[in-house]
């Protein structure tokens, strides 16, 4: 069985959080999670333990989709250098830059 993505993990922890917030016992909540997400009982209890440590639900990130683009070599070198010094991924930097560009383009026609 494959590992859950960060988005899936956040959704499962949030479901566990919601079940506990609505007053379900750990046993009841584990049963619901097991059935809802096809989890083992052990994994359901791990999500419940994570949920118990939260003050509020986790933000759920939109899943990412790989895209292939061609970029000049110098831009790639600058991007890699910036990613390394900023601690962000190249994908995160490009996604933010594209979002900012598209928002600007919508405002200006």
Instruction: Kindly state the percentage of the chain with pLDDT values over 90.
Output: 81
Residue 49 has pLDDT above 70, yes or no: yes
Q: Where are the domains of the chain?
A: 6-52, 73-107
- How sure is the predictor about 2, in pLDDT bands with cuts at 50, 70 and 90? confident
C-alpha 106/C-alpha 62 separation (Å) is: 22
pLDDT for position 6: 83
Query: Rounded to the nearest 10 degrees, what angle do helices 6-21 and 26-37 cross at?
Result: 140
pLDDT for position 69: 92
pLDDT for position 109: 65
Neighbours of 79 (CB within 10 A): 15
Work out the mean pLDDT of the chain and round it to a whole number. Answer: 93
Task: Report which of residues 82 and 107 the model is more confident about.
Answer: 82
């Amino acid at each position: 069985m494959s590992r859950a993505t960060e988005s899936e993990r956040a959704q499962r922890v949030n479901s566990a959080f919601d079940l506990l917030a609505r007053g379900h016992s750990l046993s009841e909540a584990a049963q619901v999670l097991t059935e809802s997400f096809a989890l083992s009982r052990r994994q359901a209890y791990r999500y419940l333990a994570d949920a118990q440590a939260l003050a509020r639900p986790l933000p759920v990130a939109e899943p990412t989709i790989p895209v292939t683009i061609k970029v000049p070599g110098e831009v790639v070198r600058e991007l890699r250098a910036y990613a390394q010094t900023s601690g962000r991924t190249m994908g995160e930097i490009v996604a933010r830059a594209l979002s900012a560009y598209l928002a600007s383009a919508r405002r200006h026609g």
